[in-house]
Every structure is written in structure tokens, then in C-alpha cells.
């Protein structure tokens, strides 16, 4: 049995919290659909990520 069969998919941890991480957060978003086929993804962001301006 392969490791992925025994333990599930490998995990990608992205630590994009903080104000300087907006470039990383923006770069990750279009890649998620490809990564989620073979990996579990945990994407940590700051509290402001994803909020609409003016809300």
C-alpha cells in the first residue's frame, strides 16, 4: 500500500498572514484548484484577507 493510501493526501501549509503577504495570497488563489486534486491545503491568512473594501 502506498503512503498516500495509508495516510491520505500530503498537506500543503501556506502561511500568508500579515500585511506583507497579499502578493503570496493572490498568487496562491489560482493554484488551489490544481493543488486540491492531490493535496490537502491549509492557507492561513491575516484577518483582513478576503474582506471587501468599505465593508
Domain boundaries, the chain: 3-38
| Span 10-26, pLDDT tens digits | 999 998 777 778 888 88
Q: Contact at 8 Å (CB) between 17 and 44?
A: yes
Alpha helix stretches (DSSP H) within the chain: 3-7, 22-28, 32-35
- Chain-wide mean pLDDT for the chain? 82
Task: Taking residues 38-46, report their average pLDDT.
Answer: 91
**Residue in this structure with the C-alpha cell 500579515, named with its chain if needed:** 18
Q: How many residues does the chain have?
A: 55
Q: Identify any residues that bridge with 15 across adjacent strands, giving them in sequence order.
A: 44
**Residue in this structure with the C-alpha cell 471587501, named with its chain if needed:** 52
Amino acid at each position: 500500500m502506498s503512503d498516500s493510501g495509508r495516510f491520505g493526501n500530503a498537506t500543503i501549509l501556506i502561511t500568508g498572514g500579515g500585511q506583507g503577504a497579499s502578493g503570496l495570497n493572490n498568487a496562491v488563489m489560482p493554484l488551489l484548484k490544481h493543488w486540491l486534486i492531490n493535496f490537502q491545503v491549509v492557507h492561513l491568512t491575516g484577518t483582513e484577507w478576503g474582506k471587501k473594501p468599505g465593508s
